[in-house]
Amino acid sequence: MQVLAPHVADLTRHMIEKEAPDLSRFLLAPMPGLLTKLEVKAGDKVEAGQPVAVIEAMKMENILRATKATTVKAVPAGVGDSLAVDEVIVEFD
């Protein structure tokens, strides 16, 4: 629920709803950090819950896991890369 000024609330009915892009094919960096380990390469099959990559942020390791069973299409990031938020680590089919 949003609280808006009356004149802004009147104008919001004219705004077009923007549909969010489908990012389910990508493993994105949830935070800035250093990519310390990649468990997969292009062509590998992964299962839901399988570790895919490890990011080190603020001296803690964060294990990123596959959300569904699929195949790895590409791995644009490499071990040692400094990642920004929402940067693509792995692309799935």
Residue 6 within any structural domain of the chain: no
Tally of domains within the chain: 1
Mean pLDDT of all residues in the chain?
Answer: 94
Residue 46 within any structural domain of the chain: yes
Q: Among residues of the chain, what percentage have pLDDT more than 90?
A: 81
| Domain ranges, residue 55 | 23-92
* 34 and 55 Cβ atoms separated by less than 8 Å: yes
For residue 77, the number of C-alpha atoms closer than 13 Å in the C-beta half-sphere is 28
Q: Which helix (H) or strand (E) holds 73?
A: strand 70-74
Residue 33 within any structural domain of the chain: yes
Average pLDDT over residues 12-17: 88
Q: What is the pLDDT of residues 42-68, one digit of tens each?
A: 999 999 999 999 999 999 999 999 999
Q: What is the CATH number of the domain that holds 40?
A: 2.40.50.100
Q: Where does residue 53 rank: exposed (0-12), middle (13-18), buried (19+ CB within 10 A)?
A: buried
Q: Is the pTM of this model over 0.95?
A: no
Residue 55 within any structural domain of the chain: yes
Residue 3 within any structural domain of the chain: no
Phi, psi angles (nearest 5°) of residue 7: -70, -30
Residue 11 within any structural domain of the chain: no
Average pLDDT over residues 62-84: 96
CA dist 91 and 88 (Å) reads 7
Residue 12 within any structural domain of the chain: no
Residue 7 within any structural domain of the chain: no
